[in-house]
Structure 1
């Protein structure tokens, strides 16, 4: 079972976001409400208290969720230009069918389906939502434990990888290995069209990436961002714009004890299920919410 449990992004209008992901990605709301003071404190975003949220589940019924939380618009935020959580990657059964659906949708296609350089076992496409969230929609051509990749059970299934934009790839890799205890692969240099386009990189320039896995599941990707990237602009007291939080389970809370940014406390709800949940910060300052497995 994957440790990845939820991907959270910030939206201007909750109802619109829920409708978009319901109509075009077949996600359904399993819980909704208002962010309480305790959750806002956990997220290190005290001004987020009182904002509406919705927890959404893929059509497959997988227990890895998408969560949308209302927040104020950060006008100078540009996707794929700043450090932190850069994208949510959803697994799909047929990327060409998904592409046809996206062409008719309000999502903007920013990368058409194509095999990934250096990783022939996947065929991704990329879209941008109305709230500047970036979503990769990836067909997995060779699922299974060998590659650490899932076999999706619905046309658009669950989040399976979260993408972290890094100023120092090796520092992020060391952190994932030393703090989280993940198995991290050596960096691989690939032609990364999203980053090349965003930073206007020279033709043929490659980007180093790495991945982190626990057991049979890869669930984190680390991307080395080029010069010109910057810390994410945000409104003080609120969640960062775009993809804001990654939520994972961890079976060894004891190893995390020296590293908490917000110590664990019991949380209720469909995601937390009465378990202790705390907050870590990646070396980039990105929010990594951790639930005791």
Structure 2
């Protein structure tokens, strides 16, 4: 653990992928993330996530060259034929801070990433330039080059070509209820809201280009953490085996000061875990109001 971790900081994201070796070629070979761990998922860890049938699945853990304590874990899992990104509730995307976003379309040539949104400035959001890709598990990844801080948050400029996850996006059937839960249960702060034409959502649901979505940022002080999006009525619950990790963007990991101080129900009681992600700290997992999985690592103990 390093001083990088403070309450609410994103310490990682888990991705379900149908072909671990091919996904590793993408994340390690193309995105230049460092491989720090490989193996099969321990049954106790899978149970703590509420995903006992994921036990024994092959996994790989990667971190950015910058050394930021933020890990992407790829876990091999079946991919439902009907799973489409940005149409179901749960974790919709992970946003990585990167360098030279306009150079990424060429870098991704020949990889398993499909570009679904080329680099483009967003209406009313001059603070970063994003592009959007999907991976082999139909996970959504935003590659964002930060331009400047927002009036209410500090945005990290990349310390390596591909750096850490600095925002995660949640699709929820009730934005206000989810915001209240993050505030009360996880002791996070509600920040700015924006209403804009969101091309990822409009394209996914076949909406007109002028359809506007409201989103709200969840932060800790000036640290951005979660973007909570309103989703159209056509959105559905994510399909898949309820005892396995969800497809696509499956779970996030957050640092918290004190597990015992949170107003949450853990899937299984907190335990200390070793390895690059945990470093001997206590950890436990909860489900949010959109049934999203949130693994919590205690950093104050």
Q: TM-score, normalised by structure 2?
A: 0.93
Residue equivalent to 2:271? 265
Match of 1:252 among 244, 258, 262: 258
Residue pairs, 1:1-293, within 5 angstroms? 1=4, 3-143=9-149, 147-256=153-262, 258-293=264-299
Q: Rate the CA distance shift 1:152–1:145 in 2: closer, same or farther, 3 A.
A: farther
Question: Does the 8 Å CA contact 2:255/2:298 hold for their aligned counterparts?
Answer: yes
What SS does structure 2 have at the residue aligned with 1:72? coil
For the 8 Å contact 2:49–2:267, the answer to whether it is kept is: no
**Separation (CA, whole Å) in 1 of partners of 2:52 and 2:87:** 26
SS of residue paired to 1:285: coil
Alpha carbons 1:55, 1:67 under 8 Å: kept: yes
SS at match of 1:172: helix
Residues 186, 217 of structure 1: alpha-carbon distance in 2 compared, 3 angstrom cutoff: closer
Quote how far apart the aligned CAs of 1:104 are: 4.7
Question: Residue 13 and residue 105 in structure 1: after superposition, are their counterparts in 2 closer, same or farther (change >3 A)?
Answer: closer
- Secondary structure of the 2:102 match is helix
What is the aligned-residue RMSD (CA, Å)?
A: 1.6
Q: CA deviation at 1:186?
A: 4.3
Provide, for residues 239-279 of structure 1, a one-character-per-residue CA deviation record: whole Å limited to 9, x for no partner. Answer: 11001010011013233254323321111111011111111
- Work out whether residues 15 and 75 of structure 2, in 8 Å CA contact, stay in contact via their aligned partners in 1: yes
How far off its partner does 1:102 sit? 2.3
Distance in 1 between residues matched to 2:209 and 2:114, nearest whole Å: 24
Gaps (5+ residues) in structure 1?
A: none
Is residue 277–residue 292 contact of structure 1 (8 Å, CA) maintained in 2?
A: yes
- Runs of 5+ unmatched residues, structure 2: none
Displacement after TM superposition at 1:4 (Å): 0.7
Q: Verify the 8 A CA contact 2:93 2:141 in the aligned structure 1.
A: yes
3-state SS, counterpart of residue 23 of structure 2 = helix
Secondary structure of the residue aligned to 1:171 is helix
- Alignment TM-score, normalising by the size of structure 1: 0.96
Distance in 2 separating the partners of 1:159 and 1:16: 21
TM-superposed deviation, 1:144: 8.2
Q: Which shows bigger deviation, 218-227 or 181-190?
A: 181-190
